[in-house]
Amino acid sequence: MAEDKIVKAEKEIKLADPLEASIETSTQLMIKRAQQLKIDTVFDRAVDMKPCNIGLQGICCKNCAMGPCRLPLPKGGIVGEDTRKGLCGATPNTIAARNFARMVAAGAAAHSDHGRSVAEVFLSVARKETTDYKIKDYQKLISIAPHLGVATTVEVDGEVKDRDIDEIALEVAENALKEWGKPEGELMYLKRAPKPLYDKWKKMGVLPRNIDREVVDIMHRTHMGVDQDYKNIIKQCSRASLADGWGGAMLATDLQDVMFGTPTPLQSEINMGIMKQDHVNIIVHGHEPVLSEMIVAASQSKELIDYAATKGAKGIQLGGICCTANEILQRHGIPPAGTFLQQELAIITGACDAMVVDVQCVFQNLANVAKCFHTMLITTHPMAKMEQDNVIHIEFDEHHAMEDATRIVKMAIDNFQNRKADVIIPPQKETQVVGFSVESIEYHLGGSFRGTYYTLNDNIINGRIRGLAGVVGCNNARTKHNHEHITIIKELIKNDVLVLTTGCSALAAGIHGLLQPETAAVYCGPGLAEVCEVVGIPPVLHLGSCVDNSRILLAATEVIKAGGLGKDLCDIPAAGSAPEWMSEKAIAIGQYFVTSGVYTVFGYHMPLDGAPVLKNYLYNEMEKIYGGKWDCEPDPIKHAHKMIAHIDKKRKELGIDKARERVLMDMADRQALGL
């Protein structure tokens, strides 16, 4: 196409160096392509705009109109008493803690509101108000029912019988929805945690009352002139974050599994190379699988595939971006087109006939990029519209879900013939084995007759597996795309740490070929390689989207139940990491990991440097209360080794450090022992 038809960026901005912006080839190619077309992307904007130094330190207070009050650290640090204060007298600790708390509130709200939407759809299913969604996994329904106070059996004339499944579904749906706003009590899922952890939360007064209330509590408490004790603010952060991890997010995962199926391992592909020149390409982007599940069904219907053929397309290629990609990948094998930072680039290919978005992590600049091509950008959620006039809004409703999805797919097909730009799809793609869950790990590591976590525990105790790491979270345009994720994961598996991954970190791992069983022989230490080869799993297990971090909590709980590795989550040789975090959701996740006893290291930076006392509280003092603590390390190798050092500390506390030394002895060592 004539390049003068491209709508140019409004102003000339500094351009990113593609090789500095990402370690990934297709991303580099598409950044260059965008620059040739004079379309700015997030990578260029990150070079053009520096972050605010005061905001970076976490000490800008704009919670009232006497401010914004800014309390930067004095040059040369604090000497003597820290006398910095805002107009009202708020200290750096109060200000940074409030800002941190509001991130926890926003993150918990985003995950949990997603969960609420799923629960509402599930209620419609249970009431039989919709036939578009169904219960797919009855076993999962039965397994979660008791945790929501729903009996699965009934006694009739002294005989125990199974209850009617429809009755169970309805009660589960009603009880689940009550978790968002019940007037008294505490969240029911908290009791799924190991008892010592639950007791700790109870003693500390951080058991969430209901999901919404803990978020509202933070917004109230951080209003001007309310909570002025950073420890008390952080305590509420713990409470609200638990309402996310062991509440809204966990309910989202469970009810999605019930309706759409619990993931089991499958093979798929990933990266922009999954898009096809001669197919209608539809990219779903966002988070709630309620929408994307229907788009999957519509795009696979014979009627629409035939319709696509009438428009000259060889088929319909569906792909995903961000966590909605993970949802449909895990359950249907639909290949993701990329991570959070590749969303604009998928359109730059010129081959994206429709991008369908719902909520969270969606760039507003997509509309500007779409304008340069034929791409139809469709918003679908009542709370997430865009002001640009080239964006189409089709409100998605579970009561006519299939009808909406069919309409959207048909529009994309009609748009296939309108492609105007030269289509350049980068060829890069990788195969990957994905679809792990608490249930499938149990099956894989325990076998079909002995489905338990004993085998995993055994291998941790004997030292073949040094420990577990959860590596999760976003990409951030302030760090080199995928570099930190991949460097950290490789360093962990090289040191025999089994990695559980979710979110964009999982997508990054897939793109760089780390989600293949063959990876074990190439990158792993000898112990982990042996386990992976025997069991046939990759050393990096994809557990789903960011709400599925709840799977990591429950997998860790299963490890405790299987025995031999302590009584509480903080006893396990395990650590958490978000190497390239950017979202408020990541802060909520970090806080519930820490409050659940996990040592959690973030990459890039944390907005705490301007409040060293608060920082020390989060990085050190919290461990004395919950067994877990925050840390931050931008250097990926040091980052991985901080996690490994923590894992080794826990091995020592459990008395299993010697076992590992034996396992890692080479032949010469063994011969020296005369065995």
d(CA 330, CA 63): 41
Rounded least distance, CB 322 to ligand NFS, Å: 3
> Which 190-209 residues touch ligand NFS, going by CB under 6 A?
none
Does position 488 interact with ligand NFS (CB under 6 A)? The reply is: no
Q: How many contiguous H segments (helices) and E segments (strands) does the chain have?
A: 30, 18
Q: Which lies closer to ligand NFS via its Cβ, residue 472 or residue 611?
A: 472
Site map 276..295 versus ligand NFS, x via CB under 6 A: -----------x--------
Structure tokens at 471: 């590596």
Compute the half-sphere exposure of residue 173: CA atoms within 13 Å on the CB side of its CA. 22
Q: Which lies closer to ligand NFS via its Cβ, residue 322 or residue 378?
A: 322
Beta bridge mates, 156: 159
Angle made by CA atoms 89, 93, 99, in degrees to the nearest 5: 100
In this structure, are residues 566 and 467 in contact, taking their beta carbons and an 8 Å threshold?
Answer: no
Rounded least distance, CB 549 to ligand NFS, Å: 9
d(CA 221, CA 210): 17
Site map 618..657 versus ligand NFS, x via CB under 6 A: ----------------------------------------
Rounded least distance, CB 578 to ligand NFS, Å: 8
* Of the candidate residues 208, 426, 473, 597, the single one contacting ligand NFS (CB under 6 A): 473
Q: Which lies closer to ligand NFS via its Cβ, residue 474 or residue 614?
A: 474
> Which 319-338 residues touch ligand NFS, going by CB under 6 A?
322-323
Q: Which lies closer to ligand NFS via its Cβ, residue 323 or residue 509?
A: 323
Site map 518..557 versus ligand NFS, x via CB under 6 A: ---------------------------xx-----------
Rounded least distance, CB 329 to ligand NFS, Å: 12
d(CA 31, CA 442): 42
| H or E element, residue 154 | strand 153-156
Beta bridge mates, 266: 434
| H or E element, residue 153 | strand 153-156
> Which one-letter amino acid corresponds to residue 202?
K
d(CA 591, CA 204): 15
Q: Which lies closer to ligand NFS via its Cβ, residue 335 or residue 573?
A: 335
Does position 106 interact with ligand NFS (CB under 6 A)? The reply is: no
* Of the candidate residues 140, 542, 551, 585, the single one contacting ligand NFS (CB under 6 A): 585
Q: Which lies closer to ligand NFS via its Cβ, residue 42 or residue 594?
A: 42
Structure tokens at 563: 């025995």
* Of the candidate residues 43, 340, 626, 630, the single one contacting ligand NFS (CB under 6 A): 340
| H or E element, residue 458 | helix 454-461
Structure tokens at 19: 């090789």
End-to-end CA distance of the chain: 73
In this structure, are residues 180 and 116 in contact, taking their beta carbons and an 8 Å threshold?
Answer: yes
d(CA 388, CA 256): 32
Rounded least distance, CB 489 to ligand NFS, Å: 15
Structure tokens at 436: 């792990």
Rounded least distance, CB 525 to ligand NFS, Å: 27
Rounded least distance, CB 361 to ligand NFS, Å: 3
Q: What are phi and psi of 280, to 5 degrees?
A: -75, 120
* Of the candidate residues 335, 503, 544, 636, the single one contacting ligand NFS (CB under 6 A): 503
Site map 216..235 versus ligand NFS, x via CB under 6 A: --------------------
Does position 118 interact with ligand NFS (CB under 6 A)? The reply is: no
Q: Which lies closer to ligand NFS via its Cβ, residue 23 or residue 570?
A: 23
Q: Which lies closer to ligand NFS via its Cβ, residue 261 or residue 473?
A: 473
Residue 387 is given by DSSP the state: S
Compute the half-sphere exposure of residue 223: CA atoms within 13 Å on the CB side of its CA. 7
Q: Which lies closer to ligand NFS via its Cβ, residue 208 or residue 320?
A: 320
> Which 231-260 residues touch ligand NFS, going by CB under 6 A?
none
Does position 583 interact with ligand NFS (CB under 6 A)? The reply is: yes
In this structure, are residues 572 and 559 in contact, taking their beta carbons and an 8 Å threshold?
Answer: yes
Rounded least distance, CB 586 to ligand NFS, Å: 6
Rounded least distance, CB 362 to ligand NFS, Å: 9
Q: Which long-range contacts (CB under 8 A, 24 or more apart) does 43-52 make?
A: 43/16, 43/18, 43/341, 43/477, 43/481, 44/13, 44/14, 44/15, 44/16, 45/13, 45/365, 45/477, 46/16, 46/21, 46/477, 46/478, 47/13, 47/14, 47/15, 47/16, 47/17, 48/13, 48/14, 51/478
Site map 359..378 versus ligand NFS, x via CB under 6 A: --x-----------------
Q: Which lies closer to ligand NFS via its Cβ, residue 322 or residue 560?
A: 322
Does position 504 interact with ligand NFS (CB under 6 A)? The reply is: yes
Nearest to 61 by CA among 49, 69, 73: 69
Q: Which lies closer to ligand NFS via its Cβ, residue 478 or residue 494?
A: 478
Under the rule (CB under 6 A), what is the footprint of ligand NFS?
Answer: 287, 322-323, 340, 361, 473-474, 503-504, 545-546, 583, 585
